[in-house]
Each structure stands twice: as structure tokens, then as C-alpha cells.
Structure 1
Amino acid sequence: MRAIDIHTHPVFFRSGYSAAEADRLAAGASALGVRHMICLGDVLVYGPRPNEKQVRTINDQTAQLLRWRPDYFTGFCGLNPVLGERAVQREVERCAALGFKGIKLEISNNAREACMKPVMHAAARFGLPVLQHTWSMTHIRQRHMHSDPEDTALLARRFPNVRIIMAHLTGCGYRGILEAKGIDNLVVDTSGGYPEAGLLDFALEHLGADHIVYGSDLPIRETSVTLNRILGTKMSTTEREKILYGNTARLLQLAP
């Protein structure tokens, strides 16, 4: 078995920021079959709306991880879309030059808002997928900051030339799967909460393996548990390989 984890936070509320800690994290996950990790940054350390300097600091920490372990980590550029077009364009250009391969959006705003347009234009310009934090707002009721599956699905439809990763399968739930159905440029990552019986089966039925990618949300969730969400669900060997490894490798053009 081999896997690429598309949803990790090796630096989390300032914990994990050393070469030794990065090596330990990589060693532990490698022992379970995870060959590569996508680093999404310490995205909430400054709260939901970091300023421009704080955004740079978050991305600089990710860049340092990449310098320590370029063989194991790939970075996504964290952004606060509310900062406006100039700040967004400047930071995406900087991160692309550092070798980052995607954009990570947290809870600065809702994905349907107008401030998303510069982000999506920058993503299209540099050929970067956008991973959008997504969670059902049925109970949380903070939709002015969080993005419901309906919002992320709308974002993907509005910008069909940009690849969208809807984060948190468990948080999106059955309704989120149905919202994502039939959108060619959208995939769902399997992070968010502990495994829920039947949910991945439902995603396979309605989305197909080509639209699902493995993610853990490490260190919030344990790698062993999140991998077994995939390993414990009945599917073909080909489907399992796509979800765990192949889809993300193709999406980010990672070497086999």
C-alpha cells in the first residue's frame, strides 16, 4: 500500500516547527505507507483572518518544511481572500516561486463571496488547485466565515477551469456528497472527523473513485485511523489506489 496525504498540518498552533519534529512526523507516517504529505500550514494560529504579514509567516513556515524535507513535503499557499486582490496576487506569486503546488483556504470568508474572484484568477494563472475548508453549516451556523458544501460546489461551478478540493468528507456528510456530484473539476478529501460507517461507500457510489482523495487532517486525526477509513471500505484495488495515491499524484503532478 502507498498513500499521499493531501490534508496535513505538520505545524499546528506553533507545535511541530523543527527539523527533528518534521523527521519524526515523516518517519511515523512512512511506516504506515504514507509516501508524501501536503502541508497546509498553521492556518488558524492567528485566528480566522490573518493579516498580510501573518499570512507570509504561515507560508514561510511551510516553505521551511519543504527545505528540510523536499522529498516528503509539498506546500499549499495559505491565503486570506478578504485582504484583497493585490495581497492575494502578491502572495500566490511568491509561493508559486517557492515551489508550492496549491492554495489552501480556511475560514476567512464564505466561498461564494466576491473576494474569491482574485484567488481563483491567481489559481488559474499559476495552474494551482484550491483546497477549500468545507463543513456542513446545518448545526455550526457560521456561514459568514465557513463554507457549506453548497458554497464550495458553487465555487467549482463558477470557475470550471480551476481544480477544487472540497475538504472534510465527514464534515460535509451525505448532503455534501450530493452537492459535489457531477462537477468535473471538484474532488472531495476524506479528512474531517473519525470514520463513519457507510459514508465513503456513499461517496464511491455517487462521486466515483476519481473524485475522492485521501486526507487525514494530521495532527488532529491519527494517520492509522484515517487510512483505515479507506482500507476498511469495500472497493476494488484500482479504486483504492486512486483514492490513496493516484488521484493526488496526478492532480499535483507528483513524481511516482
Structure 2
Amino acid sequence: MIIDMHTHVWGGRYEPHTHDLIANCERYGIAKIIVSGIARQYPNEAEIEQHNNDIVRFRKERPDLVEGYVYANPRHANAEDALRRGIEDDGMVGLKLWIASYCDDPLVYPLVERCIRLDVPILLHAFHKAVNQLPDETTGEHVARLADRYPEAKLIMAHLGGNAYHGIKAVRDKPNVWTDFSGSLFGREDIDYAVSQLGSDRVLFGSDMPGCSFITNYAQVQEADLTPRQREDIYSNNAIKLFRLSI
């Protein structure tokens, strides 16, 4: 069983992106996808509302396949209310934070505290780059500081932190931090490293579809030095437990 916990519908591309996601799920036998809507780095309130409405629509169209993240911009005064509505009214299973602020910015604290009360995970874009690091772009070190402040929060550092040997080192002693390897940027040796440092129970399968390839990410796990049970944990068991999914 495959649960892809990191996929997107980019703003303004609802029809092609939902079509591509469904086609890949059918082609590769993906049991469940968890989807967030995103677009530009600093979206306004109307854009955030539209992104979240897209995911609510997708869930209604394919309730058998789709779960959703609430997308929020911590700089908005209504961000906490948008999060509450998304989880309590629309049935989303987590919060997605992208690059509108560092994840450990005090602006984020009310959202984290709300997620703790709601008992839902937070998917954090995290990327460490040699060049072209974006303003307000989270790295593993920011995730680690947030984990220390809120040890009861369930935090997911996306993309292995963008550089496994930077991001994983920062969070390996933070038991409330998981990671995914979405983005088609890594070789199997980075999966091996992540499992050696975190254990297979803190690594989640994500692809970053439709912008990135599912099959590339799948092959990384197939090639990695893992037992069948470890592969099963990464492919589905960890996501089922973390998001409390009914499959």
C-alpha cells in the first residue's frame, strides 16, 4: 500500500493537476494522497481561501482517494480561523506551511498551538541551499528550534530538509519531527542515511506530485537498504499512524 502524503494542486491549475494526480494514483496503485494548494510565496487572504477551497472540492469529488492539508499564511490576521475551519468544518488532516515565514517565527506559534489542540500534524517546507536561498525559507535548524519550543507538536520536515546531511542532523534528536523525501532530488543513499539517523518510523513517503515524479521517489525506496517491514512503514504505516487515517 502506498500513501503519498506530499502532493499539490497549484493555484489556477485545478483541472490539469487533479487529472494528473488521479491518473498517477490509478497507474501506480496509490491508495491515498494528502494534498495542499499552494502558489506564490506570499499569498493574500483571497488566494489562501481559493487554494483551500480547491482542496475541499477535490476531497468531495474523490473522498475515497484524497485527504487535505489546510494551507495558511501566518502573516494573515485570519490564519488561525482559517486553520480551525479547515480542520473542524472541512475535515482536513493537517496544516501546510510553505515559505511565507520561517517556521519558528513567533507569527507561527498560534497556529502550532492550535494544531496541538486539534492533534494534527504540520507539514513544513524546509530547504537548505548553497545558492538562492529564499527569504523566510525554513531549514532544518528552524524546524529543530520549533520542535524544542513545542515538543508536543507533530512536525514534518519536508524534502529531507533539502539537504539530508544538513536537515537530518538538525532534527535527529527531536522525536516529534518526521521527514519526507519528496521532490525527486535524492538518491537511495539519502534514504539510507535518513533511516539510519531517525529510524524507519520517522520517514514518510511523499512525491511532490504533480511537479515531481512519483516513480522516481518510489524507486529510491525500492533501491534503499531496507527490510520489507521498513519499506511498508515508509510507504504507508507511518502516515496511517501520524494522520490517524482510516484505510
TM-score (normalizing by structure 2): 0.94
Q: Is the 8 A contact 2:21 2:209 kept in 1?
A: no
Q: Distance in 2 between matches of 1:184 and 1:82?
A: 28
Counterpart of 1:136? Answer: 128
Q: What aligned pairs does 1:168-207 form with structure 2 within 5 A after superposition?
A: 168-169=159-160, 171-207=162-198
- Give the drift of 1:192: 2.2
CA distance in 2, matches of 1:81, 1:167: 18
Post-superposition, which runs of at least 4 consecutive aligned residues in structure 1 deviate over 6 A? Answer: none
1:36 matched to which residue of 2?
A: 32
Q: Which residue of 1 aligns with 2:42?
A: 49
Q: CA RMSD in A?
A: 1.6
Using the TM superposition, give the Cα deviation of residue 218 of structure 1 relative to its aligned residue in structure 2, in angstroms.
0.3
SS class of match (1:59):
helix
Contact 1:170-1:192 within 8 A present in 2 as well: no
Partners of 1:24 and 1:117 lie apart in 2 by 35
1:23-172 to structure 2, matched below 5 A, reads 25-41=21-37, 43-44=38-39, 47-84=40-77, 87-96=78-87, 97-142=89-134, 144-169=135-160, 171-172=162-163
For 1:197-220, what per-residue CA distance to the aligned partner results, in whole angstroms no more than 9, with x for missing partners? 411111111111011000000011
1:25: Cα distance to partner?
2.6
Native 8 Å contact 1:17 1:61 kept in 2? no
Q: 1:145 to 1:200 in 2, by over 3 A?
A: same
* Structure 2 residues without counterparts, runs of 5 or longer: none
Corresponding residue to 1:12 among 10, 13, 16 = 10
**How far apart in 2 are the matches of 1:13 and 1:145?**
21
Tell me the CA shift for residue 109 of structure 1.
0.7
Kindly tell me the number of residue pairs found equivalent between the two proteins.
Answer: 246
User: How far does the alpha carbon of each residue in 1:103-160 deviate from its partner, in whole angstroms, 9 at most, with x for none?
Assistant: 0000001112110111111111211110000001443333x41001110121122111
Residue in 2 aligned with 1:228? Answer: 219
The CA distance in 2 between the partners of 1:252 and 1:30, in whole Å, is: 22
Structure 1, unpaired ranges of 5+: none
TM-score under structure 1 length normalisation: 0.91
For 1:254 and 1:197, how far apart are their aligned partners in 2?
Answer: 27
Separation (CA, whole Å) in 1 of partners of 2:112 and 2:79: 10
Q: Distance in 2 between matches of 1:204 and 1:16?
A: 35
Residue type matched to 1:75 in 2? G
Listed one character per residue, the Cα deviations across residues 21-68 of structure 1 (whole Å, up to 9, x for unaligned) are 635532422331311000011x12xx2111222211110011000000
Quickly say closer, same or farther: Cα 1:119–1:139, change in 2 above 3 A: same
1:208 aligned partner = 199
The structural deviation recorded for 1:188 is 0.3
Q: Cα gap change, 1:82/1:227 in structure 2, threshold over 3 Å: closer, same or farther? A: same
Deviation at 1:195, TM superposition (A): 2.9
Q: Is the 8 A contact 1:149 1:176 kept in 2?
A: yes
Whether the 8 Å contact between 1:170 and 1:199 is mirrored in structure 2 is: no
Cα distance between partner residues in 1 of 2:165 and 2:229: 24
- In the alignment, the residues of structure 2 paired with residue 158 and residue 208 of structure 1 have an alpha-carbon distance, to the nearest angstrom, of 23
CA contact (8 A) 1:76 1:102 kept: yes
CA distance in 2, matches of 1:70, 1:190: 25
SS in structure 2 of the partner of residue 242 of structure 1: helix
Q: Percent identity?
A: 27
Query: Does the CA contact (< 8 Å) of 1:171 and 1:193 recur in 2?
Result: no
Residue 109 of structure 2 aligns with an amino acid whose one-letter code is: K
